[in-house]
Structure 1
Amino acid sequence: MNTLLVAGGGAVGAALRYLIGGWVVSRLGPDFPWGTFIVNVSGCLLIGAVLGLVEHGALPGGARLFLAVGVLGGYTTFSTFGYETLRLLEGGELLAAASNAFGQLALGLVAVYLGLVAARILAGA
């Protein structure tokens, strides 16, 4: 049942990301990645609200799986990144929070670059 909650929520979140991202680009243009920017920031706002409500008993645990893991996981994993980094900061784990934030950013950019290089090699370009 838990897997179905996550999968169903993920489908909703992925569709929302596509629709909202496209709508934003159609309004603001493609010169800056505003669609991704707005999806990521709004996902952070929403995961804070959802998990805060779950932590305080205002939403049941199943809502965490469907909304936070499923919908917001499909919408943007950046929200999870923001939440987990904030929790490390709140726990006084400054080095771990900084390592998480800067490590994911730096290694993520390197990984994208390496993926593009591998694709070019595989495509013979």
Structure 2
Amino acid sequence: MKQLPLYLAIAAGGALGAAARHLASGAMLALMGPGFPWGVLTVNALGAFAIGLYAALAGPDGRWSAGPVQRVFVMGGFCGGFTTFSIFSLEALELIQSGAAGLAGLLIAASALIWMAAVWAGAATGERFGASGPR
């Protein structure tokens, strides 16, 4: 029972993250059209940035004091529910199965590069505005 607040925080954050993912993916589909999975690329970049930023700001040397419940709500719950690696895998597979292996390769390569750059940018931004304030 001691872990119940952590599990509830993960569940609540996950529900909010999943709802936000659905809205963001739908917006990208409406904006960019169905030719390429822009929604999954976008939400994973945003999620990578958000988790990097939050980890830096709410970490041991960060500016924000965050307890374990708050950290799992944001990082494990919201960011975990917002990002879409399972959908990413499915969309890459569907591109391959539809004969668009080149697009699938582009999606996979671009995703890895963009998400790593985004998590780095989020962490760097958080560190810049972290415990010691702006540098």
Please give the range of the TM-score, normalised by the shorter of the 2 chains.
Answer: 0.5 to 0.7
Q: Which moved more, 1:53-62 or 1:16-25?
A: 53-62
Task: Give 1:17's aligned amino acid.
Answer: R
SS at match of 1:9: helix
Question: CA 1:59/1:32 → structure 2, altered by over 3 Å: closer, same or farther?
Answer: farther
TM-score, length-normalised on structure 2? Answer: 0.56
Do structure 1's residue 58 and structure 2's residue 64 form an aligned pair? yes
Is residue 20–residue 35 contact of structure 1 (8 Å, CA) maintained in 2?
yes
Do structure 1's residue 74 and structure 2's residue 81 form an aligned pair? yes
Question: CA 1:23/1:77 → structure 2, altered by over 3 Å: closer, same or farther?
Answer: closer
Is residue 21–residue 35 contact of structure 1 (8 Å, CA) maintained in 2?
yes
Question: CA 1:9/1:23 → structure 2, altered by over 3 Å: closer, same or farther?
Answer: same
TM-score, length-normalised on structure 1? Answer: 0.60
Task: Give 2:20's aligned amino acid.
Answer: L
Counterpart position of 2:51:
47
Unaligned 5+ runs, structure 2 = 98-135
Give 1:59 deviation, angstroms: 3.6
Give 1:43 deviation, angstroms: 0.6
Is residue 54–residue 63 contact of structure 1 (8 Å, CA) maintained in 2?
no
Higher RCO (CA-CA < 8 Å; seq separation 6+): 2
Is residue 21–residue 36 contact of structure 1 (8 Å, CA) maintained in 2?
yes
SS at match of 1:31: coil
Give 1:63 deviation, angstroms: 2.2
Is residue 29–residue 39 contact of structure 2 (8 Å, CA) maintained in 1?
yes
Give 1:42 deviation, angstroms: 0.6
Residue identity (%): 40
Do structure 1's residue 34 and structure 2's residue 33 form an aligned pair? no
SS at match of 1:49: helix
Task: Give 1:34's aligned amino acid.
Answer: W
SS at match of 2:58: helix
**Number of equivalent positions:** 84
Q: Which one has the bigger helix percentage? A: 1
